Amino acid sequence: MEAATATEVVIVGAGPVGLVLACDLARRGVGVRIIERAREFQVGTRARGVRGRTQEVFEDLGVLDALREHAEAPLPSRFYDKDGNLVREVVMYDAPPVPGAPYPGSLMAGQQHTEAVLRERLASYGVSVELGGEFTGFTEDGDGVTAVFRFTGRREEVRARYLVGCDGAGSTVRKRAGISFLGETWERQRMLFGNLAVDGLDDSVAHLWAEGPGGMLSLSPMPKSGTWFFTAPLPEGGGGEPVSVAAFADVFAERVGLPGVTFRDPVYLSVYQVNIRMVDRYRAGRVLLAGDAAHVHAPAGGQGMNTGVQDAYNLGWKLARVLRGALESLLDTYEEERMPVARHVLDTTTARGRHWAASGPAQVADRMIGTFQGKDPFSDVSGLGVHYRGSSLARQLDDAIGVRAGDRAPDARAEDAGTGAPVRLFDLFRGTHFTLLVFGDRPAPEAGDEIRVHRVSGAEAFGRYGVREHGIVLVRPDGYIALAGGDWDAWCVAEYFARLAVK
C-alpha cells in the first residue's frame, strides 16, 4: 500500500457533474483529484439535452463553443399511432433564445462530447481524470477525510479536506456516508437505452411511437455522432436476458413491426430502471453529494444531467471559499438551496411522465412540444426559472427595483457608464468573482478586492433589472443575485460579507 497522498478535494465520479465541479474548483486554484471507477471513458449519447441554464454554466466555464461543434441540428420529429400512421411532425428542440437568456432551449449533444470538452478544459488547469479507481470507503476526522481507492494491483489512500460523491444513483460514497436514499422504484418502467446503426429508416427525422405498453419507443438520428439514439420500453417481466441488438429488434418488431428496418453496430446498450428517490441530506460532515448520487427521477423532460450540473455549480464556489477561510457553515447553504430544487424536479418529472403515459400520440406530441418550447404545465425544463429566494444568502434591501435577491441574474446589453463602451452583463459576470452592478449616479458602496464593480447604463439593462433611477445588484460567482435594492448605504455590501464570514 502506498502512503496517503494529499489534496484539498477528492471527487468520486467523472461524469458531467464531477467534471463541472472539478473545473470550477481547479480554476479557483483549489487542489483537486477526480477519480473514476471505469477503466475507459464512456461513449454513447446518454444525457443529450443541454438546457438553457446549463449552457450559461458552460459558457462561464469556457466550454460552450467547443460543445456547439458537436451539437446536432434540430430535426423534425414524427409521431405515429399504433397502426404506424403519421399523426404529427414538428421540430421540438428548437426553442429560440428569450430576452435575458441568450441560448436556445436545448443544445442536443451526446454526453460523450460533453464529458470530452469538460475533460479538455480540466486538463488546461493541469488536472486529469484518473481512471480505474474504485472507491471503497473513507475515514473522517476533524481535519479531513482519508478516501480509499482500489486500482489495478494497488490500493491508494487519498487525504483531502473534503470528499464529494458524484458517482451516480448507486453511489458508494452515499452508502458509505450512511445517507438514506428514500423513494420508490417503478418496477414496470424498464427501458432500453443506447446507440446503434439503423438501416431502412428515414434519417432526416426522428421517429416516435407513443402508444403501447411501457412507454414510448423512439429512434433519433445523430449524424455528427454517426449513430442513432433509441429508447424502448422493455415488456413487463422482460429484461432478464442480456442487453443486445437482438433484444431491441424484438421490441421494435413487436411494437412497430415496420418491415425492412434492421439494426447493427451498437455503440452502447443499457437498461434504465425508473427510480424516484432523493437523499435526506446533501452533506454528512466532510462528505457531500451532487447529481444522481443525491437525486434520481423519471426521465420525462431531460432534467437529470442538467440538475446535477447546477448542483456542482452551486457547490463549487462555496467549497472553494470555505477552503480559503470562510466559515464552514457556508456549506450548509448548498443543501438549503439545492434540496428544494431536487424535490421540485422529482415532483414535476413524475407528474409529467404520468401525464405523457396517459396520452395518445397526438397528445404526447403536443405535450412534449410544450415542454421543450417553454409551455410545460408542470415546470420550465430550461432551468432558467430556478431561484433561491428565501435563502440565507439572499438579502433584499427594499422593493425599489424589479429583480430579487436569490433570482438568476439575467443577461443584457449595457454601456459602461464611465466610457460609454458597450458591454454584455454575462461577460462581466464570467469568472470566479462577485460582481457589483451599480445603476444610476449614486456613490457605490464599499466593496472588497474580490468584487468587481461596474457602473452600467442603457435602457436594456435598466429594463431587464427593473431599475428606474438607482439600484445595486450584487451577483454571486454562480450567477445568482446575492443582494439587491434601490437604496443603500456605504457599508451594505461589506456587512453582507461580514455576516457570512465570506472572505
Residue 112's CATH number: 3.50.50.60
pLDDT tens figures, 119-164: 999 999 999 999 999 999 999 999 999 999 999 999 999 999 999 9
The more confidently predicted of residues 354 and 344 is: 344
Let me know if residue 267 belongs to a domain. yes
> Residue 418's CB: how many other CB atoms inside 10 A?
10
Confidence of residue 1 (pLDDT cuts 50, 70, 90): very low
Question: Looking at residues 361-369, what average pLDDT do you find?
Answer: 58
Do residues 315 and 336 lie in contact, with contact meaning Cβ atoms separated by under 8 Å? no
Confidence of residue 218 (pLDDT cuts 50, 70, 90): very high
Say whether both 26 and 135 belong to one domain. Answer: yes
The more confidently predicted of residues 450 and 390 is: 390
Is the per-residue pLDDT at 364 higher than 80? no
Residue ending a domain, choose from 214, 245, 275: 275
Number of domains in the chain: 3
Residue 181: the pLDDT is 95
Residue 216: the pLDDT is 81
Let me know if residue 92 belongs to a domain. no
Let me know if residue 380 belongs to a domain. no
Let me know if residue 81 belongs to a domain. no
Joined together, the cell numbers standing for residue 185 give: 422504484
Say whether both 357 and 255 belong to one domain. Answer: no
Question: Looking at residues 69-74, what average pLDDT do you find?
Answer: 92
SS3 content of the chain, % helix, strand, coil (to 5): 30, 30, 40
Let me know if residue 459 belongs to a domain. yes
Say whether both 179 and 317 belong to one domain. Answer: yes
Say whether both 135 and 283 belong to one domain. Answer: yes
Say whether both 123 and 61 belong to one domain. Answer: yes
Q: Provide the residue range defining the domain that includes 125.
A: 5-71+102-183+276-372
Let me know if residue 377 belongs to a domain. no
Is the per-residue pLDDT at 442 higher than 80? yes
The secondary structure element, H or E, covering residue 60 is helix 52-61
Dihedral sign computed on CA atoms, order 391, 402, 311, 292: positive
Is the per-residue pLDDT at 3 higher than 70? no
Question: Looking at residues 470-478, what average pLDDT do you find?
Answer: 98
Residue 46: the pLDDT is 86
Q: Give 94's strand partners.
A: none
Let me know if residue 113 belongs to a domain. yes
Say whether both 227 and 243 belong to one domain. Answer: yes
Let me know if residue 321 belongs to a domain. yes
Joined together, the cell numbers standing for residue 117 give: 470538452
Say whether both 137 and 259 belong to one domain. Answer: no
Say whether both 360 and 437 belong to one domain. Answer: no
